[in-house]
Amino acid sequence: MRGIADKVVLITGAGHGIGAATARRFLEEGAQVIAADLDGDAVDALSDSVPAGQCLPCALDCTDADALQAMVERAMAQFGRIDILFNNVGQSARERGGPFHLSEEATWRFVLEVSLMSAMRTARLVVPQMRERGAGRVINMSSDAALVGDAGLVDYASAKMGVIGFTRSLARELAPHGITVNAVAPGAIRTRAHDKLTPEVLKKIREMTPAGYIAEPEDVAGAVAFLASDDARYITGQTLPIDGGRWMV
C-alpha cells in the first residue's frame, strides 16, 4: 500500500482477531505500531515478533479514559506523532445478549462504552496533533449488525450505528485539514468469539452470507490498510461493509 511505510499507527484491541491481524499487516508494510489491548501478553508477543522499537505494546482497558490518555502521551513521547488511528476495540453483550425486553441497562452501557465511547475518546486524544500537521487517517470499527439490524443485538447495533454517525460527522469536520475518517463494517469473521458458536449457528451464518463462507481477520486488515493508504486519499465519511454480500449498499 502506498504511503504506509514509516507511518505511526495506533490500534486499539490489537491483541487478538481483527486487531492483531491489522497490526501484523501494518508492521509488514513497514509502519510503526502502538498495540493497545487488555491482554498484555498478547501485545507483548506481537512486539516480540518484530525488530525492537517497531511496536509499542500497551496493556490497558480501553474504556478507561485516564489509561487512554496515558497511552497516547507515551506514544507521542516515543514516536512524536500518530499518523493513523484504527479504533478497533469493541464487543457485543455476548453471553448477556438476548431479546431487548429482557435486557438490562448496565449491559447497554457496557456495550456503548467499549464499542462507541472508546472510539470517541481515543479520537479526541489523537485528532488535535493530526490537525496541527494537516494529515491523518482515522478508521473506525462498525459492524454489519448496525446495517442489517440483527435481532438480539439491539445494544450492539445501536453502538455500531453510532460509530457510523460519528464517522460521518468527524469526516466532515476534518476533511479541510487533510484528514480522512472512514469506517469498516465486518460481517462474519473467524475470531475467538466464533469458537463459542455451535456448528448449527455457524451453518446458519454461512447460509445468510451470499459468499457462502466465513472470512478471516486478514480480510478486514487488508481493507483497513487500504483506507489508511494514499490510494484512499479521496475517500472519507464512508462505511465499507466487509460481509460477503450480506448487506449491499
The catalytic residues are: 156
Q: Where are the beta strands (DSSP E) in the chain?
A: 8-12, 32-37, 55-59, 84-87, 136-141, 179-186, 239-242
Cβ neighbour number for residue 130 with a 10 Å cutoff = 22
Closest CA to 79 of 113, 38, 129: 129
> What's the count of helices (H) and strands (E) in the chain, helices before strands?
9, 7
Distance from chain centroid for Cα 50 = 22
Closest CA to 73 of 86, 90, 54, 60: 60
